[in-house]
Amino acid sequence: MIYDIGTEVGPLSAPGSGVPIVYSASSIDLAPNDGVPALFGTGERLYMQFEVTTAFTIGDSAPIANFGVAISSAATLTNDAHILAMTGGSITGDYIGFDVGDLTLGTLFHLPIPSWEDIMEKDAAAWPGTTTSGTLDTFRKLRYMGIVISIPNSNEAPTPTFTEGAVKARIIKDHAGTAILSNIYPSRMTVD
């Protein structure tokens, strides 16, 4: 399968003991495409494809993991990032997510990237209904897309912890794995 490495982030390691969420240090800069991050792609549904690059292992208890797509105004995501969507998974006790048996080396899973209007409610009233210069400025700054891993049952005792595990992720156009290539970014390919 051929991927465009310009749409890839990670690897992101699983949270350690007592850490409920981790953010990717690497991100995809969406701004170079059309000048406004929200206008990337060609109007098609895009997906974040997660790939387990290090099998997840656990300690004494059973953690559950959710994986998400986030955007930020900073290239290294922190807790001020906006979470666009999170994966589901199986219902395990009182929590929903992936358990260690679901997170073996090479496992792939997909998350649709939601429309941008859905994320602007927090910062800009009812985007795009409110299109002041301040709203547009806030909108344009959200240019970095990355990934997160959340452990929803991290507050249980004893603390559910993954002792190992990592994922990377890439934007794709369909579940067959077709890379976005020049639909988002200037092509890095030439014909001789």
pLDDT value of position 167: 96
Q: pLDDT grade, residue 87 (50/70/90)?
A: very high
Task: Compute the average pLDDT of residues 84-97.
Answer: 86
Q: pLDDT grade, residue 131 (50/70/90)?
A: low
pLDDT value of position 119: 56
Please choose, from the candidates 140, 156, 129, 138, the residue with its C-alpha nearest in 3D space to the C-alpha of residue 62: 156
pLDDT at 15 over 90: no
Task: Compute the average pLDDT of residues 118-122.
Answer: 54
Considering the chain, what is the average pLDDT of its residues? 78
pLDDT value of position 33: 59
* Look-up of token digits 């409110």: 130
pLDDT value of position 52: 96
pLDDT tens-place string over residues 134-156:
766 766 777 889 999 999 988 88
With 0-12 / 13-18 / 19 or more C-beta atoms within 10 angstroms meaning exposed / middle / buried, residue 191 is exposed
pLDDT value of position 38: 60
pLDDT tens-place string over residues 160-177:
889 999 999 998 887 664
**Cβ–Cβ under 8 Å, residues 62 and 92:** yes
Query: Spelled out in words, what is the top-level CATH class assigned to the domain 5-181?
Result: mainly beta
- Dihedral angle computed from the Cα positions of residues 41, 75, 136 and 49, in that order, rounded to the nearest 10 degrees: 30
Using alpha carbons only, what angle is made at residue 152 by residues 150 and 158, rounded to the nearest 5 degrees?
115
pLDDT value of position 172: 87
**Cβ–Cβ under 8 Å, residues 37 and 30:** yes
Neighbours of 163 (CB within 10 A): 14
pLDDT at 56 over 50: yes
For 66-107, list the strands marked E by DSSP.
66-72, 82-86, 90-92, 95-97
Q: Where are the domains of the chain?
A: 5-181
Q: pLDDT grade, residue 178 (50/70/90)?
A: very low
pLDDT at 9 over 60: yes
